[in-house]
Amino acid sequence: MDFSLSDDLLELKERTERLVREEVIPYETDIRQTPHGPAPELRRELVAIGRRAGLLSPHVGREWGGLGLDHRSKALVFEAAGYSPLGPVALNCFAPDEGNMHLIEQIGEAHQKERWLRPLAAGEIRSCFMMTEPAPGAGSDPSMLKTTARRLGGNRGEFVIDGEKWLITGAVGAEVAIIMAKTESDADGPAGATMFLSPMDAPGIKIERVLDTLDQYMSGGHAVIRLDGVRVPENAVLGRVGEGFRYAQVRLAPARLTHCMRWLGAARRAHDIAADYARRRTAFGKPLGEHEGVGFMLADNEIDLHTSRLVIWHTAWVLDQGRRGGHESSIAKVVCSEAVWRVVDRSMQILGGLGITDDTIVARLFREVRPFRIYDGPSEVHRWSIARRILRAGGTDA
């Protein structure tokens, strides 16, 4: 495994760190932050900062306006961006747009990339990804998909989509949606799930409500959507009919990993704030950090951060080899989502009463990192799939 860092990459990482420290962090107290993410004009201002610094859309190919970084390079830059929850907004590499851009770049037709990927990569528009449904529809088990896409008869070349989606991040303010729906087999394709690209203002797409949630940083929040006879033309199919579940994996393995990278940056921020406090604050005659109970929490933070970084780097290397990396990204998702949670929780404990106030960003990070153990596959589902793989392998060498 080659983990060597070129001078160019180190410069990029340092430039990102500087940008976040000097230009992004001051926005954390901006009043244009809402319970459903930064207001649109705040997002545009942040994106303008990333654009001016030449750091926009590091994950997208250069021909579409990004920096064309591989997964290992992203690991460095995304962690640096994640040091502030607004950093990924400034670099235009936040969820779900980052994963959506990746998917469109991988499997989209040229006309779809021109129409949607180019303005997405430029930070001009936002997108959302509609997979999850309220019970009894698709959740941890995507095969329970209830939303349907019926092909209209004759030569009209259209699909009609009906269903209900929920927890759809960024739907409010998005220009385009990737909709996952069940399709029947016909002469043009097998039965299964299919992904469609649809403008959000298409007749029949209705945002029913925006959910009030624990987390508050994701642009547009999380919404409940009704799809009522939404018509999409044949050329809006993303990839091929019936292949939606396969493409979901194309999106999910790297998207899980980039979440790990960004949240690792956030956890490092919480740890730095706690370590600084433990050096300065005294109790019982000495700095807090010199009490073993606190020192051990700092050490455990460092161990969790280091382990997460190693797991991310290994998985990024696997993806850079052109492998699917589903198994490795499952492991990384469990390791990192649980480790960043522990780091932020310990950091809050070290800060004492200060930790639960909004005088530091730690309390906000605490709310932000908890849902990461649920989205992109709850920890239990990843463990279950890792266990199935172990059992399929037919025993160990022990």
Residues at the site binding ligand FAD, with contacts judged by CB under 6 A: 96, 128-132, 139-140, 167-169, 215, 222, 371, 374-375, 378, 380-381, 384
Cβ closest to ligand FAD, residue 122 vs residue 374: 374
Supply the minimum distance, in Å, between the C-beta of residue 381 and ligand FAD: 5
Supply the minimum distance, in Å, between the C-beta of residue 209 and ligand FAD: 15
Cβ closest to ligand FAD, residue 95 vs residue 264: 95
Cβ closest to ligand FAD, residue 167 vs residue 250: 167
Alpha-carbon gap, residue 127 to 245, rounded angstroms: 19
Cβ closest to ligand FAD, residue 192 vs residue 289: 192
- 227 - beta bridge partners? 163, 205
C-beta separation of 86 from 24 below 8 A: yes
Report helix, strand or coil for 16: helix
Supply the minimum distance, in Å, between the C-beta of residue 29 and ligand FAD: 23
Q: What is the b/e burial string over 85-100, where b = at least 16 CB atoms within 10 angstroms of the residue's CB?
A: bbbbbbbbbbbbbbbb
**Identity at 88, one-letter amino acid code:** P
Which 8-state DSSP code applies to residue 116?
Answer: I
Q: What is the DSSP string of 285-327?
A: TEEGGGSHHHHHHHHHHHHHHHHHHHHHHHHHHHHHTT---HH
**287: cis peptide before it, omega within 30°?**
no
**What kind and span of H or E run contains 180?**
strand 176-183
Alpha-carbon gap, residue 40 to 94, rounded angstroms: 14
The residue with its CB nearest to ligand FAD is 139
Neighbours of 140 (CB within 10 A): 12
Supply the minimum distance, in Å, between the C-beta of residue 20 and ligand FAD: 22
Supply the minimum distance, in Å, between the C-beta of residue 360 and ligand FAD: 22
Supply the minimum distance, in Å, between the C-beta of residue 380 and ligand FAD: 3
Neighbours of 196 (CB within 10 A): 24
Cβ closest to ligand FAD, residue 263 vs residue 277: 263
Supply the minimum distance, in Å, between the C-beta of residue 147 and ligand FAD: 11
Beta strand 37-38 pairing with 158-169: unpaired
Supply the minimum distance, in Å, between the C-beta of residue 9 and ligand FAD: 30
Cβ closest to ligand FAD, residue 286 vs residue 392: 392
**Identity at 324, one-letter amino acid code:** R
Q: What is the DSSP string of 225-294?
A: EEEEEEEEEGGGEES-TT-HHHHHHHHHHHHHHHHHHHHHHHHHHHHHHHHHHHHH-EETTEEGGGSHHH
Cβ closest to ligand FAD, residue 205 vs residue 350: 205
Supply the minimum distance, in Å, between the C-beta of residue 245 and ligand FAD: 13
Distances (CA, A) of 64 to 90, 116, 196, 246: 18, 10, 21, 24
Cβ closest to ligand FAD, residue 222 vs residue 309: 222
Cβ closest to ligand FAD, residue 165 vs residue 309: 165
Supply the minimum distance, in Å, between the C-beta of residue 167 and ligand FAD: 4
Cβ closest to ligand FAD, residue 122 vs residue 386: 386
